[in-house]
Every structure is written in structure tokens, then in C-alpha cells.
Chains A and B, each alone.
Chain A
């Protein structure tokens, strides 16, 4: 057969491409549930890392089922709120938001289209909220944990899809960057709720970071830092009404808590 004729070439490539597409679609569908389970355990370990229950490496060591068990033990309540700070609905305690779901809510926040954003409150009172936005090459997202009824940050963990290894990828890989967040305070009254500053955040005389809403950006990763900064501003901005409400009702809630106990 003449393998160089036009008809042969067209038919041949069509068959090959269709075949490959079918194989990939089949494999993708059959592995989906396993991949989602892994992603969920990963998301949970990110939230728990932000809330300082351990390091990401610890959670990786103990495995998926142990991570889920620890989360079930520690999580107090989970619910969604609107940008007005009012609670919309309770979430199942084993429900977390995958990056894809965060993306959907991100669009809604940007369009002012009644987002329903999740709040996770652990039994020790630590509140964890997600952030999501665009980095340099792809999405960046993460979790920021706040001390009970306060704007003081307990910890943070970030992840990304395809930032440059060694530069932008440091938002995930560099524990020092994530440690910068600890002890800083989000300013929910301002439009710039939190700033990642190029050129250096204000420092005390001994070199430690001033307790404010500013931290240092990553050297060589301006675009990723800016993207993460925008993601944090957008999302914490959307949560600001909720955090203002919990801060003003602080005294009342602490009392009710002791009564419950």
C-alpha cells in the first residue's frame, strides 16, 4: 500500500489520534476517584499545616487515612458565608473545597455574584479560610489560619500548579516564607487586607518583622508574589465582614462557650 498518499495519511492520523484520545479518556475516568481521594487528603493536610497542627512533611508521613482521622478529630464546624459576613449554610464536616471549587468561588467573588465561601473552625477555635488567585504560570491557592476571634494570623500554607521551581514555587516549598505570616495581623478595615511587599516589609531594630499586615516578597518571583498578594487581598477582603462580626461579638461568644462547657 502507498503509505504516502494524502488519503492514507489523513485516515491514519485520524485513527491514531482518536485511539489515543479514547485510551486517555478511559484511563482518566477510571482513575478519577483515587486521584480525588489523594487530592482531598492533600487539601486537608494543607489546612491542618496552616492551623499549625503539624508540618506538611509530618502529614505526608502518616498517610491519607491518618490525616482524615486527625482532621475528623480536630474540626469543630464548617460552614459557608457570604461577603456580608452572614452564614449561609453548614457544610458536612468531611467536606473540603478542592482547588477547582475555589476557582468557581473566585469568579463569583470577582463578579460580585453572591459567592458562598467556606470557613473552617477547629475545636481549638482556630479559623482557617482559603485564598485562590492567579500566579505567574497557573493558579496559586492556600490556607490562612487565624487565632480564635482575632485578626492575628496563626499560620499559612500555599500551593500552586506550575510556578517556577526554586523561585515562585517557594510559596509552597520555603517554610521560611510561610513562617513570615505567623504573628502578622490582617487589616480587615482596609482594601489592602494583607500586603506582600517588594523591597522589604518594615523591620524592628533587631531585624524581626514588625507586627503589621506586611511581609517580604520572594526574591526573583515578583509575579508570583504579586499574584499571591492579589489572591489574599481578594479573598480576605471577601471574608472581612465575617471577621469583623466575629471580632465585635468576641466577648459574647467566649461567654457562651464557657457556658456550653
Chain B
């Protein structure tokens, strides 16, 4: 059980080890707020769709299982989008994240974990696996967003941190290429700590 939760967060992290979900991690990490909302949305989608599909796993006709997975995941994504649009606090963030909320459905982490784990395991472990994978994704998102917002805007969660010290925000950090550079650095750090990830 502990392994189910901890593995996706560190040793088998979906972004840095499996290299899934890169596209959105470059796009939504300009601000901490955006990254946090995206992380929570992905956790909700992976967790709950894993749970639903694990409950249904013995009834799903195997020939149409991908379609059934897709229908459930799509439903979750639309629900998350609708809910974000309904609250004053999240409406602006939903607009800022725009297509990327809808694109959670194409995030390989979601379908990948359902196909690889939820269809072969009991509901509770599947739910934990989904949540943990979402959390592993979200953690990297927040780390990247931390550096990008701090260095790119001089703020964190919109609160001024560096600007009053006379820091001049670096525009390169705001652009997507810098997110890729940061991700590369994170992969580098992780691989130098976990030697067994290194290819011979």
C-alpha cells in the first residue's frame, strides 16, 4: 500500500521518470496559482476515474474498454471544468488555463494508469494509485512553477517577494523553453540521487 502511494511520487514519477504529461507541465507553470489548480484538477480526474473504472472493471467488455475509459475520463474532465467555472475564485484561473483543463483527457498519465493499474486492481488501491500519480505530476508542476513565478515575475501566488528588493523579472523564465530547462535539471537531480535510474 505504501509502495502504491510513494512510488508514483518519487521513484516512478510520471513526469521525470515516465516522461508523461510534459506538454501541460510546460504550459501551465507560469504561476503557482495556475499550477496548483491544474495539479488539483489532475489529481481529481486520475483518482476518481481510476476508482470508477476499477469498480466497473469486471463488467467492461474488453473490446470497447478504451472507449469506456475515455467516456469516464471525459466526464470527469468536463465536471472539473464546469466546477472551476462556477466559483468566483477559480473562474479567472480556469480562463487562464483555458484549453489545458480540457486537455487533461489527453494526458497520458490518466489513461496510462487506468489501463495499467485500475483495470487489474481493487477500487481502493486504484484510487490511491490515481491520486498518487496525480500528486507526483502536481509536485513537479509546483516545483517548476515555484522557480518560474519567483524568477519570472518576482512573486509567489501573486504576492511580491523579490520585486521590492529591486529585482528585475527575467522574461526568459516566463517562456516555455525555460520550463523545459528546469524539468531537465529536476531529472538530472533525481537521477544523480537514484543511481538505479541511470542507464548503463
Contact = CB atoms under 8 A, between A and B. Distances in A.
B88 A63 contact: yes
Interface in A1-45: 3-4, 8-9, 12-13, 16-17, 20, 23-24, 27-28, 31, 34-35, 38, 41-42
Contacts of A192: none
Q: Which of A3, A4, A8, A41 has the most CB of B within 10 A?
A: A3
A113 interface: no
B137 to A, nearest CB: 19
Contacts of B78: 24
Contacts of B18: none
Interface stretch (B35-43, B61-69, B162-170, B187-195): B61-69
Interface in B86-131: 86-88, 91-92, 95, 98-99
Contacts of A165: 27, 98-99
Interface in B54-72: 58-64, 67-68, 71-72
Contact of B82 (A4, A31, A60): A31
B75 A23 contact: yes
Given A4-B62, A12-B61, A31-B86, A20 B98 contact: no
Given A35-B86, A165-B98, A166-B176, A16 B68 contact: yes
A9 B85 CA distance: 35
A162 B102 CA distance: 11
B75 to A, nearest CB: 5
Contacts of A24: 75, 78-79
Which size class do A's interface residues fall under? Answer: 20 to 34
| Prevailing SS type, chain B contact patch | helix
A114 to B, nearest CB: 33
Contacts of A17: 71
Contacts of B88: 38, 41, 63-64
A27 B82 contact: yes
B59 A3 contact: yes
Nearest to A41: B88
Contact of A3 (B62, B72, B82, B91): B62
Given A34-B86, A35-B85, A20 B71 contact: yes
B185 interface: no
Nearest to B79: A27
Contacts, number: 67
A13 B70 CA distance: 12
B83 interface: yes
B94 to A, nearest CB: 9
B13 to A, nearest CB: 25
Contacts of A13: 61, 64, 67-68
Given A24-B78, A162-B98, A31 B85 contact: yes
Contacts of A60: 92
Interface string B17-28: 000000000010
B33 to A, nearest CB: 11
Nearest to A164: B99
A12 B176 contact: no
A165 B63 CA distance: 37
B90 to A, nearest CB: 9
Given A13-B61, A38-B87, A42-B95, 8 more contacts: A3-B62, A9-B64, A12-B68, A20-B72, A165-B27, A165-B99, A166-B175, A166-B176
Interface of A: 3-4, 8-9, 12-13, 16-17, 20, 23-24, 27-28, 31, 34-35, 38, 41-42, 60, 63-64, 162, 165-166, 169
7 contacts: A3-B58, A20-B72, A23-B75, A28-B82, A162-B98, A165-B27, A165-B98
